[in-house]
Amino acid sequence: MILVTGATGFVGRALIKRLVADSTPSSVLAAIRGFGDVGYGVQTVQVGDLLNSIDWSPALKGVSAVVHCAGRVHVMLDVTADPLEAYRQVNVRGTLSLALQAAREGVRRFVFISSIKVNGEATVLNHPFKADDMPLPIDPYGVSKLEAEKGLRDIELSTGMEVVIIRPPLIYGPGVNANFASMLTWLARGIPLPLGAIQNLRSMVALDNLVDLLVNCLTHPDVAGQTLLVSDGEDISTTELLRLTGQVMGKAALLIPLPVSLLKISAAFLGKQAMVQRLTDSLQVDIEKTRCLIGWSPPITLKQGLVKAVMGMRL
């Protein structure tokens, strides 16, 4: 049996749908915070908030593999008094408590969804992050994910449970929220955007592509103990992404070619430096290790992923 945490979330729900399609509902157990039904006929177990005080034993009986999707997600404007401690409570201590209990219950493999933020916030153009680069997280979220990764490797070493770590960049697909959802809304409403002259390159990953890799990582013998990067294998500038998404929508993206230098000056006045930095900086990932190690390639293209995201948009 496979236990999926964060089963009602963006990635968790899609993973469960795929796992059920590949096997049977009885082979999947969904861990959720409260009461409810994730659908697809799978059994659920209520675990509450992801804290280190959770007794996971009822959820781990008969489980051979865990895919840990749950966590405290990245927050753009975090108003928590101590953001790093808030991330550590869930992403580090909660994760390591689950992993240690899983190892004690005889779970064979633990697949952890980390973040490309462990590598850093940006790359030099055409010099992508690689899976084995020295980590350089900048913000509390990235720091917490790195600390969780290190703790998992320690548990792997001491218990023998196989740990696979996946670091995705921006994930998009049907039901996506946050900044990507905002972009879809702006384009759908025909709002002019001053983003017509950005020559960066960014990697993203379609939800279907991430789920496909996760499924492969549950059984492939060569991923045990590995850290893998994932993307669509197609890097794109912010400007071209907006144009392509508009094309998928059947709407011309209204883009004003404002120089990046003016964008950054305006952002400084408006207190939007972080947002503009993400729109203008490059962030590329190299998935060659993932391709070569298990012979994996993204099953859908960037454009196909955008079509699915647009079809699932809520306006």
Which residues are designated catalytic? 141
Q: What is the spatial distance between Cα 305 and Cα 206, in angstroms, rounded to a whole number?
A: 5
Q: Which residue has the tokens 């702006």?
A: 186
Q: Distance from first CA to last CA of the chain, Å, rounded? A: 37
DSSP state at residue 47:
-
CB-based contacts of 95: which residues, under 8 Å, 6+ apart?
50, 68, 71, 112, 148, 151, 152
Q: Which residue has the tokens 């809520």?
A: 314
CB-based contacts of 253: which residues, under 8 Å, 6+ apart?
187, 193, 242, 243, 245, 246, 247
With b meaning 16 or more CB within 10 Å and e meaning fewer, what string describes 248-259?
A: bbeeebebeeee
Angle of helix 302-311 relative to helix 178-188, nearest 10 degrees, comes to 80
DSSP state at residue 34:
S
Q: What is the spatial distance between Cα 135 and Cα 131, in angstroms, rounded to a whole number?
A: 9
Query: What are the beta bridge partners of residue 178?
Result: none
